[in-house]
Amino acid sequence: MKRAFIATLLSLSLSLSLSGPLVAAGSDNVSAKDPYVRAVPPGMANSAAFMQLNNGDKGDHALVAAESPVAQTVELHTHVQEGGMMMMRKIEKIDLPAGQTVALQPGGLHVMLIGLVKELKPGDQVELTLVYEDGSKSRVSAPVKMIQGMQMQHKAMQH
């Protein structure tokens, strides 16, 4: 009885591993181009990741989450105008229309890295996992870059 159970379990495991991933692969045609993460001064708790997401598929997709070992929390964000001020807001997804490229950029859509667990210095690489609506994931390695305007803020904080 015990041998039969183990044999059945091994057979099931083998058939599942040969059948490929258990998640849908529709967003395999979504690619990230020119990813980077904003360098921040020492002691800053948050940063952001930016990139161009191209949906080369015939169907629409959506980015619904992201993960990274460099932050305690990772969220999808956008900027909105409220009361004459630009404010960042968490969003549930970033739509990726079929055949189009969506820009994640400063002042717009981005991946927010909250509660950094290590200092992000220019030249470092940040690993990101992008999670899509169909459950599939893709990994992106993004270099840390100093963004124009941040250099002046960084220098001012050193004085």
Query: Which residue, among 105, 102, 76, 71, has the nearest Cα to 89 in the 3D structure?
Result: 76
Residue 8 lies in a domain: no
Residue 104 lies in a domain: yes
CATH number of residue 32's parent domain: 2.60.40.1890
- Longest CA pairwise span in the chain (Å): 75
Q: Who's near 158: CB < 8 A, 6+ residues apart?
A: none
Count the domains in the chain: 1
Q: What is the pTM of this model?
A: 0.76
Residue 17 lies in a domain: no
Confidence of residue 99 (pLDDT cuts 50, 70, 90): very high
Q: What is the pLDDT of residues 117-151, one digit of tens each?
A: 999 999 999 999 999 999 999 999 999 999 865 44
